[in-house]
Amino acid sequence: MIHGYQVALEPRDCASVPETVLEEGSLGAAMALSTLSRMWMERLRRLTDRPRNELEGRDYCDASVLEYAICKALEAAYPRSGGDPPAPLTRNSFALRIFMTN
């Protein structure tokens, strides 16, 4: 938990992913974001509900931080393949969610 926010790696489009993979990925994303302030976490939380393609026209820094966290999540979830999920899954099969726990 970071400043009262929890980070979770979630599958998109009903992809079937083992819970342990999602847990490891969530931990990897949380570690990647662990140095951010409460303000940053709130800023990113509002963006995680948007599809990735909508972030491209937004603040480059925000989109880059989210993409970095997803990359770190997938590296933690799939360490043997360097973060590449097994087919038919792709990097776009996953979303990052940030939500308040309080």
Q: Is the pTM of this model over 0.95?
A: no
Q: What are the tens digits of pLDDT across the range 13-56? A: 776 899 999 999 999 999 999 999 888 888 888 877 666 666 66
Which pLDDT does position 56 carry in this prediction? Answer: 60
Res 1 pLDDT > 90: no
Structure confidence at residue 59 as a pLDDT band (50, 70, 90): low
Q: What is the DSSP string of the chain?
A: -BTTEEEEEEESTT----HHHHHHHHHHHHHHHTTS-HHHHHHHHHHTTS-HHHHTTS-HHHHHHHHHHHHHHHHHHSGGGTTPPPTT--GGGEEEEEEE--
